[in-house]
Amino acid sequence: MTDAISDSDVQLLAAVAATLKQEYIREGAVDPWANSPFAWIRSLKSRQIGKVGEQLVSGWCAAKGFDVTRSPDSDADRIIGDRRMEIKFSTLWESGIYNFQQLRDQNYEYAICLGISPFVVGCWVIPKGDLLERLPIQHGGVRGSDTRWLQFPASRPPPWLRHHGGTLAEAYEVLRAIADDSSGNPPE
């Protein structure tokens, strides 16, 4: 590894870092993301990660047969099956949680929350009303009074989310029911 470094001082610092690494990295510790097809996403800037989340949901929905278009305004991310959708994305945090941030009271009908772990994916399609009713305010102050977040252990989503998906297959069924329901009411 240090062969790729030509500066002798950088090589020396890299050798010191390798020695220090032993103190900070647990013996036998394995990066759970090491062989994950999603690991590359974690190296991106947060703004890019959100965009990738939107693209993942859009591509998946299109591949599942839904009509997907960009929203004509910034109040929703996509129009999926003629419904205005906000897309929120989280990779698994080291603490084992998904954290879907910046959920606002804007002009969308549903939020699609996509949570990615190294080899498991969770997905929920949640009516905006449920989010506004159940979630705490994320930021204080005048400008942040409508910003909320959904945070939970990836292995134990809150019971109220069961009706809104869980696996990709379950989220697909929720989306299909929404698309099939011409009344605009969320499926029971």
Per-residue pLDDT tens digits for 12-38: 888 888 878 777 766 667 788 988 999
Backbone angles phi, psi at 74, to 5 degrees: -90, 5
Tell me the pTM: 0.82
Average pLDDT over all residues of the chain:
88
Confidence of residue 56 (pLDDT cuts 50, 70, 90): very high
The stretch 93-119 carries a mean pLDDT of 95
Burial (0-12, 13-18, 19+ Cβ within 10 Å), 58: buried
CB-based contacts of 7, cutoff 8 Å, min separation 6: none
**Rounded-to-integer distance, Cα 163 and Cα 172, Å:** 12
**pLDDT computed for residue 141 by the predictor:** 55
Pairing of strands 121-127, 83-91: unpaired
What is the band of 44 on the pLDDT scale with cuts at 50, 70, 90?
very high
Query: What domains can be seen in the chain, in order of their start residue?
Result: 1-30 (no CATH), 31-180 (3.40.1350.10)
Higher pLDDT, 131 or 184: 131
